[in-house]
Structure 1
Amino acid sequence: MPDHALRLILNNIKDPLIPIVSFARNESVYIDATEEGERSAWNKIQSICERLEELPPAIRHSVQSEDILLSRMYSRNENLNPVYDSRSQDFIRYPVAGRLENISETATTLFEKGYLLRSFFDRIHVCPQCRSGHLSVREECHACMSANISEEIVVHHFQCAYEAPESRFKTEAGLECPKCARKLRHIGLDYDKPGSITHCNDCGSINDKPSVGFKCINCGTHSRPDQVPARTWYAYNMTAAGLRRILEEREAPAASPDPRSDSFRVLLDYAQREQREFGSLYQLVRVTFANRPQLEAENARLWEQSLLLVIDVLQSTLREVDAFREEDGGFLILMPRTDAAGAHRTMARLAARLEAVLKVELGFSHSLLQASPTRSADERAA
């Protein structure tokens, strides 16, 4: 059965956890497993169904993507492991996730909450236009960006010091210098071949080395290397907290995520409690970069490198008791036991150091977020 037909059937069933096993070899993205023989297939289905029955009704019938993803991992007894798949626009697929969409984003959210652990899988360059992972990396002409290039050996004539591509020396009688018309008979005595050049067969341009370019197979967009962003992919394992989330009744107290998954939130909560108990001041500062959209569109690699330098500057400018985290291309900075004037002075030093270190103008600006009850501040920091 083709994928589109199977998809129509599954859309009518509307159960994202239903097990699907093929009796014959099948590479469909919707099938949980391919088993040889009917007995093996039914054993696989029975195993999945038994684990599905262990889930509380609130989880078994949940429509939240986080619950569905964790439930599929548990019922299939598999980790969330990515595989390369040329049929996917991302070039990466998570088989255990089935038809679930936005899997990487959902898994990242579960990781931040402490329900999943992750490990590096690969870093895939993506098209800046359509975000596809199907890119052709090719050598091309510096001038016209054509891939129709060829390599030519360079000939150096010792006597007159003329140097040019070998094709210019070739005649019916052998090699002859186009400058002085002398015959070139013995390599090492009359001439040598010190290297090669790249010749474009479309525009005729000559260069010592070809350029490198990216062409999207999906939408045809051509990009220079510094314009192509990269996306990091991870494999995920479920934690004990994740297991408790899907196996305990929903009415029970929610499992607390590992505090280490969000140390910034923990520090912010502590600073707020200090303010309530002892009147200690703290400042929560939002740093933004007005030029980020333009820089990211024109040169994604330059923006990524600039962001790394910003982090270095933050670490060297802030105190050891201060904390920061990235948020939407900017940063939230927590400064315990600091008044507003002190925060503004620190931000002025930060701006000066960024101007000295960076070669591009990021459009740095900052604002102090007004202190408020714990829940609201946490929501703003989330």
Structure 2
Amino acid sequence: MEQYKIFADQTLRDLPDPWVFVDTIPNDSNLDAIVCFEGDQHVPHSLVSASVSPLICIIYVGQNPPAWCDIHVDASAGQDLLAKLSEAADFVQQTRKLNPPKFKEEQDRLHILGLLSTRHTRLAPVADANLKTMFYYPRLYWLENTQAALESLVRNNLLSVSLQQKTFHCAQCSSARLIARETCSKCGSVDIQEDSLIHHFACGTQQAKSAFRDGAELICPKCNKQLRHFGVDYDQPSVIVKCKACDEISDDVSVNFLCGDCGESMASDGAVVKEWYQYDITSAGKSTASLGILPQRRMQELLESFDKWKPRLSFSLILDFYLGIVDRYARNLNVLCMKVGHSSQQVFMSDDASVETQRYQDFVIDLLVETLRGTDFLTSIESEIFIALPETDDQGADKAIERFKTKIENYTKSEKGVSIRKLSRKEVEDLIKRCSSNV
């Protein structure tokens, strides 16, 4: 019989099937949910130390739920918790449908996709003044380098983004706890005061309003005449700033930042700007979460099984050899850069998107097999496939590009199925260097 294991630091009674209470976290980390109670703000840290899967369902019982929980129960009454277990069961069932990550180095990124896929939610930055960064993604508590993982998933079209916040960070210690200050543009003092500039029509003098003050009256400091009527005797063309420290008068102030953590002072344009995004999982991301392997990795494995595949160093050496032949004997050589996207219709309209993704990748490999000739060879760097076509002129390369595009677009029913182009001579030379240094 199927069982869902649930852990809490308090005994839970009368749990409905298939929920089973355990009083210790299993050594194999085979746990489906955890219940934490009000006041316990250290649950994420204990889960990391216990090596529990980040996809575990976290249920919080009490007021003011923390941002890292999945389900909130208002009170500790048994019926309230029992009512929420059906929602937790849905998360557990969805999580169990995911294939476990195949490669350790991909676990973090696949867990992000798995979390968004099974919770049917999005990832938004949450403000916390106690953090130097000011914003963070609380449900990604297990990640050390959150930004790198998210950026990688965006580059591979597994997450989409929308800008939510911008923060300014100290160039010295990276803290976002900065105090904005207006200072004197000459001496840097904060002891400044705004004042109105008065223009006396009769004698032409222009000075700060404070210089005209004589009790409740305005007396010109140059000609000693009283200014009675605005617009007749005088006007106020602008606002000025006077520094009490150095008596500097100007029509503008400097704005700078003072770091609340390290005390560093910097000009406003000297702070580092950081952008915070909201992340939504794409159809490709859902398929990847189900597969348990990043598309780039699986495509790499398929390419490496192809007899035209060359490791990057070998590719660069052979390509450099052919480039020498081109220069010496005026022979033909073309190099293509292909970036395979995802099907927008056929692949992800399927009920089993992970299977369709595999079929799509297999189709691309089959297309390469039937299109490339005996002397052609290829390699890949990240999501780009580089295809070298010795003894192929520009017309032949154009025909190959058209064949690739037509076949893939017919399969995907989308013009976004593939991006492919010819590299210039400079780009080929840069590719050789890139392959040589990126072994």
2:392 to 278, 282, 295: 278
- Pairwise mapping of residues 91-170 of structure 1 onto structure 2 (< 5 A)? 91-170=134-213
Displacement of 1:21: 1.8
Is it true that 1:371 corresponds to 2:432 in the alignment? yes
8 Å CA contact retained: 2:101, 2:110: no
Pairwise CA RMSD of aligned residues?
A: 3.9
Partner of 1:205: 248
Residue 190 of structure 1: aligned partner: 233
Which residue in 2 is equivalent to 1:10?
Answer: 47
The alpha-carbon deviation at position 24 of structure 1 amounts to 1.6
Gaps of 5+ in 1: 281-321, 324-333, 347-366
Contact 2:71/2:88, CA 8 A, preserved across alignment:
no
In structure 1, how many angstroms separate the alpha carbons of the residues matched to 2:86 and 2:215?
76
CA deviations over 1:103-149 (Å, ceiling 9, x no partner): 22201111222322223333333222222333333432212334332
Change (3 A) 1:259 1:89: farther
Q: Is the Cα contact below 8 Å between 2:193 and 2:241 reproduced in 1?
A: yes
Aligned to 1:20: 58
The 2-side partners of 1:205 and 1:130 are apart by: 33
Distance 2:55 2:384 in 1: 38
Q: What SS does the aligned partner of 1:371 have?
A: helix
Alpha-carbon separation, structure 2, partners of 1:128 and 1:35: 42
| Contact in 2 for aligned 1:114/1:242 (Cα 8 Å) | yes
Structure 1 window deviating more from structure 2 (57-66 vs 32-41): it is 57-66
Matches within 5 A, 1:26-41: 26-36=64-74, 37-41=80-84
1:297 is matched with: none
In structure 2, distance between residues paired with 1:228 and 1:380:
33
2: CA distance between counterparts of 1:278 and 1:101? 48
Residue 273 of structure 1 aligns to a residue whose secondary structure is: strand
| 2:290 matched residue in structure 1 | 247
CA distance in 1, matches of 2:48, 2:157: 31
Q: 1:39 to 1:141 in 2, by over 3 A?
A: farther
1:248 is displaced (CA, Å) by 2.5
Deviations 1:7-60 (A, max 9, x none): 553244221232222122234343234333323443343232222222224469
User: Do 1:73 and 1:97's aligned partners in 2 also have CA atoms closer than 8 Å?
Assistant: no
Go from structure 1 to structure 2 and tell me whether the alpha carbon gap of 1:204 and 1:3 turns closer, same or farther (over 3 Å shift).
farther
Contact 1:65/1:100 (8 A) holds in 2: yes
Question: More deviation in 236-245 or 100-109?
Answer: 236-245
- Partner SS for 1:45: helix
- The structure with the larger Rg is 2
Whose RCO is larger (CA < 8 A, sep 6+)? 1
Please say which of residues 103-112 and 25-34 is displaced more in the overlay: 25-34
Instruction: Report if aligned partners of 1:157, 1:191 keep a CA contact under 8 Å in 2.
Output: yes
CA 1:2–1:206 in 2, change beyond 3 Å: closer, same or farther?
Answer: farther
TM-score where L is the length of structure 2: 0.57
Cα separation, partners in 2 of 1:260 and 1:206, compared to 1, 3 Å: farther
1:377 maps to a residue whose letter is: C
Is this contact kept in 1: 2:68–2:139, CA < 8 A?
no
Structure-2 separation of matches of 1:266 and 1:5:
37
1:20 match: secondary structure = strand
In structure 2, the residue matched to 1:360 is none
Q: How many residues align?
A: 296
* Residue identity opposite 2:233 in structure 1: D
Q: Secondary structure at the match of 2:438?
A: helix
CA contact (8 A) 2:241 2:251 kept: yes
Indicate if the aligned counterparts of 1:69 and 1:100 stay in contact, CA closer than 8 A.
no
Offset of residue 77 of structure 1: 2.3
Q: What TM-score comes out, normalization by structure 1 length? A: 0.64
Partner Cα distance (1:113, 1:73) in 2: 16
In 1, Cα distance between the equivalents of 2:437 and 2:281? 25
Question: How does 1:44-59 map onto structure 2 within 5 Å?
Answer: 44-58=87-101
User: Does 163-172 or 77-86 show the bigger shift?
Assistant: 77-86
Could you tell me which amino acid in structure 2 is paired with residue 72 of structure 1? L
Give the direction of change, closer, same or farther, for the CA distance of 1:88–1:19 in structure 2 (3 Å limit): farther
Instruction: Assess, with a 3 A threshold, how the Cα gap between structure 1 residues 38 and 149 changes in structure 2: closer, same or farther.
Output: farther
Q: In structure 2, what is the equivalent of residue 179 of structure 1?
A: 222
Task: Tell me the SS of whatever aligns to 1:155.
Answer: strand
Other-structure match for 2:340: 259
Task: Classify the secondary structure of the residue corresponding to 1:377.
Answer: helix
* Distance apart, 1:278 and its partner CA: 3.3
Displacement of 1:4 in angstroms is 5.9
Distance in structure 1 (CA, Å) of the matches to 2:68 and 2:129: 15
Output aligned runs, 1:41-80, within 5 Å: 41-58=84-101, 64-80=107-123
- Partners of 2:163 and 2:190 lie apart in 1 by 33
Per-residue Cα deviation, 1:283-340 (whole angstroms, up to 9, x for no partner)? xxxxxxxxxxxxxxxxxxxxxxxxxxxxxxxxxxxxxxx99xxxxxxxxxx952x3xx
Q: Aligned to 1:161, what secondary structure does the other structure show? A: coil
Q: Determine the C-alpha separation between the residues in 2 that align with 1:90 and 1:251.
A: 29
Match of 2:438 in 1: 380
Is the Cα contact below 8 Å between 2:67 and 2:138 reproduced in 1? yes
Structure 2 counterpart of 1:215, one-letter code = L
User: How far is the alpha carbon of 1:63 from its aligned partner?
Assistant: 7.4
Q: Which AA in structure 2 matches 1:178?
A: P
